[in-house]
Amino acid sequence: MEAKAIPLGQRPARVWTGGSGEAIVLLHGGWAGAEAYWSTVTGELERSHLIVAPDLPGIGVPGELLASFGAYAAWLEALLDALAIDRATIVGNSLGATIAWRFASQYPERCRGLVMVNGYPPPTYNRGVRWMAAHTSLRRMVRSHFLRSIYGSEALTTAFHDRRNAPAAIVSALDRFSPAEVDAVLDILLAESACPAPQVRTLLIWGEADRLPVLDKRGARQMAPSLNDYRLVTIPSAGHLPQVEHPVAFLRALREFLRR
């Protein structure tokens, strides 16, 4: 894999690429960039596919976040255009899975298949909840919860089957997230408009040992009925990043999906 700067709008996109063949796009989660999330599997995948693993603007890497998941989906479409990729299998982990879902819903003609790895569709909230989150103490309470349980070192215990498996970049990042950074993520979560479930083949890969709030496999089973063509694969002894803790099992599930 090689890191490249791809001209894209007002600022270049940093993208890890390698291999050739049908394209697979790997979207990382909110704690660090693409390398921390995907380096355990890219070497094997690029033997048979073109791999594209972008650093998402402002998510786990320096820079401003985009305004919504819809904006990230549009950014990804522009990136595929810049790379001359017509269609790709979109694989997302955690927050990257939320972006992948939105992309598959927004641009189904560009999506060969969708793979959700320990992640959910974009949340939608009514106007009352949005107002409360902006103007009452609810915002402070949610921010405090995120800083402690999701964007703090406590997450290493709940997100990983064995916290020693956590990539160094993620361990370092969880020591330094600021309230302002968490507020920016909350703004994206609250800004999202409703989108229909993607009408594409979907694979749900879930690390069973994920104990982050609301991210256990029961949520995956609740999400599944909204999908027309899906399969759920769970990986024991793996947490929020099953591709890191059990790359062989992860690759087996993904390759079987790609062969279908």
How far apart, in Å, do the first and last CA atoms of the chain sit? 26
Question: Which pLDDT does position 139 carry in this prediction?
Answer: 84
CATH of domain 2-123+194-259: 3.40.50.1820
**Residue 216: burial class (beta carbons within 10 Å; 0-12, 13-18, 19+):** middle
Q: What are phi and psi of 20, to 5 degrees?
A: -155, 165
Residues in the chain: 260
Instruction: Say if CB 204 and CB 116 are below 8 A apart.
Output: yes
Name the pairing type of β-strands 50-54 and 202-207: unpaired
Question: Which pLDDT does position 81 carry in this prediction?
Answer: 97
Number of alpha helices (DSSP H) and beta strands (DSSP E) in the chain? 11, 8
Question: Which pLDDT does position 217 carry in this prediction?
Answer: 64
Question: Which pLDDT does position 137 carry in this prediction?
Answer: 85
Gap between the Cα atoms of 53 and 41, Å rounded = 11
- Identify the segments of the chain with pLDDT beneath 70: 214-219
Task: Summarize pLDDT for 161-177 with one digit per residue, the tens.
Answer: 999 999 999 999 999 99
Question: Which pLDDT does position 131 carry in this prediction?
Answer: 79
Gap between the Cα atoms of 135 and 123, Å rounded = 20
Name the pairing type of β-strands 88-93 and 50-54: unpaired
pTM: 0.94
Name the pairing type of β-strands 23-27 and 2-6: unpaired
Gap between the Cα atoms of 199 and 16, Å rounded = 28
Domain ranges (residues) in the chain: 2-123+194-259
Question: Which pLDDT does position 222 carry in this prediction?
Answer: 72
Task: Summarize pLDDT for 135-164 with one digit per residue, the tens.
Answer: 788 888 888 989 999 999 999 999 999 999
Instruction: Say if CB 173 and CB 31 are below 8 A apart.
Output: yes
- Please, what sign has the CA dihedral across residues 95, 101, 102, 107? positive
Question: Which pLDDT does position 10 carry in this prediction?
Answer: 81
Give Cα 241 distance to the centre of its chain: 10
Question: Which pLDDT does position 130 carry in this prediction?
Answer: 77
